[in-house]
Structure formats: C-alpha cells, structure tokens
Amino acid sequence: MTATRRTRTLHGQRMSYVEACPDAVPGTEGGPADPEVVVLVHGIAGSAETWTPVLQAFERTGCDRLLLAPELLGHGESAGVGGDFSLGAYANGLRDLLAVLGHRRVTVVGHSLGGGVAMQFAYQFPEMCSRLVLVSSGGLGRGVSPVLRLAALPGAEWVLPVLASTGLLGLGARGLRLAASLPTMGPGAVGLREAARHAASLTERAHLDAFVDTVRAVIGPGGQRVSGTDRLYLTEGLPTLVVWGDRDPVIPVGHARRAGELIPHGRLEIFQGAGHFPHCDEPERFAALLTEFCDANAPAEIDVASLGPRVASRGA
C-alpha cells in the first residue's frame, strides 16, 4: 500500500488530500472495480497528518479499502482564505471532492471537529454515507476545553495574530513538544505532540483565520453551540461506531457514553488511558477496529426519501 498526497481544485480553491490505496488497486489485474472507500476527516487546526499513524498501521497489516484523508479548507495544504467555515460548508466540500473523484458512497470517519463534519455529511447526504465513525467527536454535548472557549471570545481575531507575530504561539508549540519529550509524560506524550502540531499550524495567518472562524461557528464562551444529539435517531440503519479516550482533556468522555445510548444499535469503544487522539495513541488497535467494524457491517442504503417519515413521526 502506498500513500500519496494529491490536490484537486474545487470552485477555484485548492483542496489537498492524502490517498492510501489498497494493495489491489482498481483497474489492475485482480483489483476491485469499485472498492469501498473510507474517508478520514481531521479536527480543527489539524491536517491529514493526524491520520499518518493509522495509515502506517494499515501499511503494516494490509488494507482492502481505499483510504482518503482530505484536508478541510483553511487547513493543511488546502486553500481557504475567508468564506464559509461552518459544518455544513465543510460537509459540502467533502461531497464536492468525492464527486470529483467519482466516489458515490463512503464510510466517513471524523475526529473532533471532523466528527461534527462527518455527522453533518451523513445528515445532508445520507445516500452517500455507508457507515459513520465518530472519534472524540464534537457536536455531542456542550463540554469543551477552556482554551477553545477562549478562542471564541470577542477580540480573539485580534489577539491571536499578535501572539503569532510575536512568536508566542510558536513558543507555545515548542513548549508542548518539549513536554512531550519528557520521560515522565508516558502515554500522554502522544497527545502533546499532536497538540503541538496543531498549535504550530496557527503560526500561518490563513490557518489562524480559518481556526477563529471555525471555532466561532461551533463554540461559544459557554461551550459547544452546535449539537447533533437531537438527530442521532436518524442513524437508524446506518452502522455507527463511537471511539473515545477515557482521558480526553478536550471533549469529555461522557459525551461518548451518552451518544452510545442515543445511537440506535450503535457501538461504543473506549480506549483506556488514551486522550483526545485515540487513533494516534493506539493506531494498530484503531486500524484493526475500523477494519473489523467495516467487515462486520454491510454498507447502509439510505436515501433522503426514507428520512422524511422518521423526521415527521419524531415531531408528532
């Protein structure tokens, strides 16, 4: 299996993604004509790099599904200066990329903000969603890190650029990397390294602007403002897996347990000792779990028409 970074232009803006192909590539002898596709969506201030440990785990063990790790606009190497950074817009961007690539139905895996985007994608385009995997996902409750709440305060769009231009954001990222290197950190070092990578991305003005706009679209001073819990009943018939670290300092693990109760026939997996990036803490376990989940659950076949009666009966 090889991982390759590619780009496509959508509506005049560059969208970058990493493609990890199965050993049997479509179009080659013995390769599937229409392989299953798994889309891995990163979190706020993140990039496709957060999935690198998972892709490497698949490289070691093998994978018979096409893996795509897109970078949301304003993140990673994807363009996105100004514009709409709402969950709906991000979901539209995923739909557009998949349409350009010719993929009609996919399993969507979303981490943190990416979990909210994945849920929004499933709600907006049910006919395109085969399975849903939420990893330390936003959009399942109010609780969220105080740091992200501060970024939603008025004036953050002025304060954060000053911190970036004076080198304080970069200094903070280096401090996180230094802390991660301490022998006493143990398992927590993985989360610190990922947090450092995310913080370092904000030293670029385009990433910083997208970060502030995205935070304000989903978070307020009182916590998360956007919730999908009232629509989780719509996952009936959609195989759904929730994965969380029991030591998540960003989004409480209680959100996972409540979601597990609300999702019809959903599956909940708690990674003991893991933080906000369970897929990085235990990439081999995560890759094996994702494979087992996809193997055990046939792709859903849901269309917009089938949702109407359920929405109507819910409101009765």
Average pLDDT for the chain: 88
- For the chain, what is the total number of helices (H) and then of strands (E)? 12, 10
Give SS3 for 5: strand
Which helix (DSSP H) or strand (DSSP E) does residue 110 occupy?
Answer: strand 106-111
Q: Is 137 a catalytic residue?
A: no
Domain that holds residue 104: 3-143+225-315
- DSSP-derived pairing of the beta strands 240-245 and 129-135: parallel
Tell me whether residue 112 is one of the annotated catalytic residues. yes
Whether residue 204 lies inside any domain: the answer is no
pTM for this model (two decimals): 0.92
Q: Tell me, what's the pLDDT at 31?
A: 47
Does residue 38 contact residue 68 with C-beta atoms inside 8 Å? yes
Rounded to whole angstroms, the Cα distance separating 259 from 267 reads 10
Other CB atoms within 10 Å distance of the CB of residue 176: 20
Are 177 and 191 contacting, i.e. CB atoms less than 8 angstroms apart? no
Task: Give me the pLDDT at residue 28, please.
Answer: 43
Rounded to whole angstroms, the Cα distance separating 131 from 144 reads 26
Q: Answer yes or no: are the C-beta atoms of 69 and 107 closer than 8 Å.
A: no
Residue-level length of the chain: 316
- What are 264-301's pLDDT values in tens digits? 999 999 999 999 999 999 999 999 999 999 999 999 98
| Three-state secondary structure call for residue 167 | coil
What's the total number of domains in the chain? 1
Q: Which of 47, 112, 130, 227 is catalytic?
A: 112
Residue 63, in any domain of the structure: yes
Domain CATH for 118: 3.40.50.1820
Let me know: does 297 contact 131? Beta carbons within 8 Å. Answer: yes
Active-site residue identified among 47, 207, 248, 279: 248
- Looking at the predicted structure, is the pLDDT value of residue 25 above 60? no
Q: How much is the pLDDT for 35? A: 75
Whether 211 is covered by a domain: the verdict is no
Amino acid at 92: N
Token duo for residue 28? 């080659």
> Measured between alpha carbons, how far is 304 from 69 in angstroms, rounded to an integer?
26
Assigned domain for 65 exists: yes
In this model, does residue 24 exceed pLDDT 50? no
Q: What is the pLDDT of residue 57?
A: 94
Average pLDDT over residues 164-173: 72
Catalytic residue among 42, 111, 207, 276: 276
Does a structural domain hold residue 157?
no
Q: Residues of the chain with pLDDT > 90: what percent?
A: 60
Collect all residues with Cβ–Cβ distance below 8 Å to 127 and sequence separation of at least 6: 105, 302, 303, 304
Distance (Å, rounded) from C-alpha 143 to C-alpha 35? 38
Domain presence at residue 208: no
Query: Which amino acid would we find at residue 130?
Result: S
Position 66 in a domain: yes
In a domain, 35, yes or no: yes
Phi, then psi, of 168 in degrees rounded to 5: -70, -35
Higher-confidence residue of 63 and 26: namely 63
Confidence of residue 80 (pLDDT cuts 50, 70, 90): confident
Q: Quickly tell me which residue has 């979303």 as its tokens.
A: 110
DSSP string, 26-54: TTSTT--SS--EEEEE--TT--GGGGHHH
With cut-offs at 50, 70 and 90, classify the pLDDT of residue 308: confident
- The percent of residues in the chain predicted with pLDDT above 70, rounded, is 91
